[in-house]
Chain A
Amino acid sequence: MTEFPGGSIVHGPRRAEVNGAGGSDGRRRLGEAGLNAKPSGRMHVADSLEGGVPARTVGEVSVEDPVFSCRDVSVFYGAKQALHSVTLDIARRQVLAAIGPSGCGKSTFLRCLNRMNDTIPGARVTGTITLDGQDIYDKSKDIAQLRARIGMVFQKPNPFHKSIYDNVAYGPRIHKLTRTRADLDELVFTSLSRAGLWNEVKDRLSAPAVGLSGGQQQRLCIARTLAVQPEVILMDEPCSALDPIATARVEDLIEELRASYAIVMVTHSMQQAARVSQRTAFFYMGKLIEVSDTDHVFTNPQHRLTEDYITGRFG
């Protein structure tokens, strides 16, 4: 974008075209219907700015047959609202990257999806989130079973203080996924292989996991997640503690996993978002500003805040 200082003018026609396509979809503004009744011709996106932050999300929030469907999701930590009415669908077999400056709510959003915010005292989530059509905040649903369907990989590699084998076997053991030791061995093998770690650790499965390098530990954490056979994998800045080579390996792995899983990845690195994701959501000050195909967001951002962020003007 930097080569077009007058970006808004250059983008004018393209923007109109996108609007035309998006406007035909009646579901697009489920979340904000009451907030901004103005029929948006979207000639001037900046019109909807409220103190710099728009009330509505720019771009296509819904998808066909979503794995996750979030409607009006807000999160409060005590009196502080960390997430404002986010409406977003998450597609299957696709990487959704959540980008935005620190404290913009992208991690908070991610942690809503497997109810990890429940572990924080004083956290409150409103709105609805469905996983395969079922409300995940339904009181009658078992939270542990829910989380088993949703894998999570964290910012820092955090293997348990156990052997490599036991780390991968942890989930299958607590959920009693396998009946015999041979089955468990098999599952550990497949998980480690899918995480691209098998060849590096096959000779030292009983060695402590903390002895692995950072990149290996992170892939072990991914293997540990895969062993529970989740439907979705949430990744909270999975590469931020890794060196460039380890990062490249994890990114390759994410690319492979995309064939079977829906992946939501929070990242600080826009290059990473551009490299591995197919869809990108830009969060700012607790709001979902813009969501679109990754190519689109990075080459032709619709919202000025998105453009400012991806061109490095703030954040």
Chain B
Amino acid sequence: MGGRLSEIPFGMSYAVSHRGAPGAHEPKDNDGEQHECQDPDAAMSRVAAIEPKRIAGQRLRERIFHGTTLAAALLVLVLLGGVGVSLLQGAWPAFSHFKLAFLTRQIWNPVTDEYGAVGAVYGTIVTSIIGMLLALPVSFGIAVFLTELAPSWLKRPIGVAIELLAAIPSIIYGFWGLFVLAPVLQEHIEPWIISTLGALPGIGFLFRGAPFGIGVLTAGIVLAIMIVPFIAAVMRDVFETVPDLLKESAYGLGATTWEVIWRVVVPYSRTGMVGGTMLGLGRALGETMAVTFVIGNAHHIGRSLLSPGTTISATIANEFTEATTKLYASSLIALGALLFVITFSVIAIARLMLLRLNRRALSSV
């Protein structure tokens, strides 16, 4: 009965379309079927009556559509190549003048026109590591609380707050870091760190020296605050993709919330967690403004994390206006090229890790 109902309107609409295009396409069905609209075969044979002109138009549109999307996609490759080429071109004088020494020397002296990248690279990597070490547990906690524990009335406000945190411009973080965080660190926290952690054997040297307030540690803390919302947001989204069924089956076996999170949610979402972490790390490595404010801008590598330092992006931001000699400018661009390589490597390593994790998850865990 249902079949007959649906065929009648179909048959009628075909009749209308034929009137619109007379003789464009002769229906091949025999007379009997033409009058019998309720026969599905007869109805179907009339569907073929599309004008050739229309087909040509459709194909043209398809081709244009295909071409434009392809062009947009290719633009990515062109941009990437262009950036790479111009970086290498700009950095060439520095690399050819200093050779490998550019990568191994700490010196950064515009007066004698001698430059080495080690100080900036060290600062970039160490501030990022500090930032990640501080941000990861906090982000994980936020994401777990939001997805598994928070009552629904609290989820939204916290979720919105995280997005707002991510939306704060980095210069405001730098500003806040310099005028609010740094004095607090200098007066209260750093003296305490020096007297406790600084006294530890082995790693104690990392926490000795004078409490400047600004320095590598401060930059790491500001970076941590800046990347927490990113990592937390990605982790929350990833945790939310864990099927309820999987969680419920663990709950059904008598697992506690902690056991469900640790043994079901985390293993299931580790790929996404690595992805979120790498997103945060990428941002930490490249962050410029906030770090420039609080790191102290010294090309010297201090043994202590409390001493001032610099990062690649902070160096470039601070000095590009002063780069009067060709070699100076080229050295700054060479630093940029190094940053490019570092970030690229981080992403490549992340991809490899994800691949291996996936393969392991597929073969057996």
A and B physically associate: yes
Interface residues in chain A, defined as those with a beta carbon under 8 Å from any beta carbon in chain B: 114, 116, 119, 121-122, 144-152, 154-156, 158, 160-163, 166, 170-171, 174-175, 206-208, 221, 224-225, 228, 234
CB neighbours of B254 from chain A (8 A): 144-149, 171, 174-175, 228
List 18 additional contacts besides A122-B152, A146-B254, A163-B365; criterion CB under 8 Å. A119-B244, A119-B247, A119-B251, A121-B151, A144-B254, A144-B256, A145-B254, A147-B252, A148-B254, A152-B249, A154-B245, A158-B245, A160-B246, A160-B249, A170-B263, A175-B254, A228-B253, A228-B254
Q: Which B residues are in CB contact (< 8 Å) with A207?
A: 364
11 chain-A/chain-B pairs, Cβ below 8 angstroms: A116-B251, A146-B254, A158-B249, A160-B250, A166-B365, A170-B263, A224-B249, A224-B253, A228-B253, A228-B254, A234-B252
A225-B252 CB under 8 A given contacts A122-B152, A161-B267, A208-B365 = yes
Instruction: Quote the shortest CB–CB distance from B53 to chain A (angstroms).
Output: 49
Contacts of B264 in A (CB 8 A): 160
| Smallest beta-carbon distance B253→chain A, Å | 4
List the 9 closest pairs (A to B, CB-CB), nearest first.
Answer: A148-B254, A152-B252, A171-B253, A147-B254, A121-B152, A144-B256, A208-B364, A158-B245, A144-B254
Residues of chain B with a CB closer than 8 A to A144's CB: 254-256, 259
Contact B253 A170 (CB under 8 A): yes
Contacts of A163 in B (CB 8 A): 364-365
Task: Evaluate contact between B263 and A174: CB separation under 8 angstroms.
Answer: yes
A152 to B259, CA, bound (A): 17
Quick one: which of B225-255 are within 8 Å of A by CB? 243-255
Question: Is residue B363 contacting chain A, with contact meaning CB distance below 8 A?
Answer: yes
Return chain B residues, CB-CB under 8 Å to A155: 245
A102 to chain B, nearest CB (A): 18
Q: Is B205 an interface residue (CB 8 A)?
A: no
B244's nearest neighbour on chain A, judged by CB, is A119
Max chain A C-beta neighbours (<10 A), residue from B245, B246, B252, B362: B252
Interface residues of B (CB under 8 A from A): 151-152, 243-256, 259, 263-264, 267-268, 361-365
Chain B residues closer than 8 Å to A147, beta-carbon distance: 251-255
Looking at the assembled complex, report how far the CB atom of A302 sits from the nearest CB atom of chain B, in whole angstroms. 33
Complex CA distance for A144 and B244, rounded to whole angstroms: 17
Q: A225 to B249, alpha carbons, bound, how many Å?
A: 9
Q: How far is the CA of A269 from the CA of B21 in the complex (A)?
A: 52
Residues of A close to B152: CB separation below 8 A = 121-122
A116, B250: Cβ atoms closer than 8 Å: no
Closest chain A residue, CB of each to CB of B255: A174
Distance, CA A225 to CA B254, complexed state (A): 10
A267–B6 Cα distance when bound, in Å, is 33
Shortest CB-to-CB span from B365 to chain A, Å, is: 5
Q: Which residues of A contact B151 (CB under 8 A)?
A: 121
- A152, A206, A208: the one contacting B248 at CB < 8 Å is A152
**How far is the CB of A231 from the nearest CB of chain B, in Å?**
12
B253 in complex: contacting residue of A148, A166, A234, CB < 8 Å: A148
State how many angstroms separate the Cβ of B274 from the closest Cβ of chain A: 16
A315 to chain B, nearest CB (A): 19
Q: Which of A145, A151, A158, A166 contacts B246 (CB 8 A)?
A: A158
Contacts of B365 in A (CB 8 A): 161-163, 166, 208
Q: Is the CB of A119 within 8 A of B363?
A: no
Taken together as a complex, chains A and B put the C-alpha atoms of A35 and B255 apart, in Å, by: 39
Q: With a CB–CB cut-off of 8 A, which chain A residues contact B363?
A: 208
Shortest Cβ distance from residue A37 to the other chain B in the assembled complex, whole angstroms: 40
Q: Which residues of A contact B253 (CB under 8 A)?
A: 147-148, 151, 170-171, 174, 224-225, 228
B residues near A160, Cβ cutoff 8 Å: 246, 249-250, 263-264, 267
Q: How far is the CB of A135 from chain B (nearest CB, A)?
A: 18
The answer for the CA separation of A6 and B113 in the assembled complex, in Å, is 106
Q: Please tell me if the beta carbons of B249 and A154 are within 8 angstroms of each other in the complex.
A: yes
Given contacts A121-B152, A221-B249, are A158 and B255 in contact (CB under 8 A)?
A: no
Q: Which residues of B contact A158 (CB under 8 A)?
A: 243, 245-246, 249
User: Residue of A at shortest CB range from B243?
Assistant: A158
Q: What is the CA–CA distance of A225 and B248 in the complex, to the nearest angstrom? A: 12
A170-B250 in contact (CB<8A): yes
CB distance from B283 to the nearest CB of A (A): 30
B178 to chain A, nearest CB (A): 42
Chain B neighbourhood of A152, CB < 8 A: 248-249, 252
CB distance from A282 to the nearest CB of B (A): 25
Among residues of A, the one whose C-beta sits closest to the C-beta of B365 is A162
Q: How far is the CA of A148 from the CA of B254 in the complex (A)?
A: 4
- Specify which of A121, A145, A208 is in contact with B362 (CB 8 Å cutoff): A208
Contact A151 B251 (CB under 8 A): no
**Chain A residues within an 8 Å CB radius of B245:** 154-156, 158
Residue of B nearest to A228 (CB): B253
- In this complex, which of B246, B247, B251, B363 has the most chain A Cβ atoms within 10 angstroms of its Cβ? B251
A122: chain B residues at CB < 8 Å are 152
The chain A residue sitting closest to B361, CB to CB, is A161
Min CB–CB distance B248 → chain A (angstroms):
6
Complex Cα–Cα for A149 and B259 (A): 17
Residue of B nearest to A210 (CB): B362
Inter-chain contact B248/A154, CB cutoff 8 Å = yes
* Cα distance A121–B148 in the bound complex, in angstroms: 10
Q: Which chain A residue lies CB-closest to B362?
A: A208
Residue of A nearest to B364 (CB): A208
Q: How far is the CA of A225 from the CA of B259 in the complex (A)?
A: 16
A151 to B250, CA, bound (A): 10
Contact between chains at A114 and B263 (CB < 8 Å) = no
Bound CA–CA A147/B244 (angstroms): 16
Query: Which residues of chain A come closer than 8 Å to B251, judged between CB atoms?
Result: 116, 119, 147
Q: A35 to nearest B CB, angstroms?
A: 32
Q: Which residues of B contact A161 (CB under 8 A)?
A: 267-268, 361, 365
Query: In whole angstroms, how far apart are the Cα atoms of A161 and B248 in the complex?
Result: 14
Once bound together, how far apart are the Cα atoms of A106 and B248, in whole Å? 17
The distance in angstroms between the C-alpha atoms of A152 and B248, with both chains bound, is 9
Nearest neighbor of A162 in chain B, beta-carbon distance: B365
Point out which of B152, B245, B253, B263 has the most chain A C-beta atoms below 10 A from its C-beta: B253
Minimum C-beta distance from A196 to chain B (A):
19
User: A116–B248 contact, CB under 8 A?
Assistant: yes
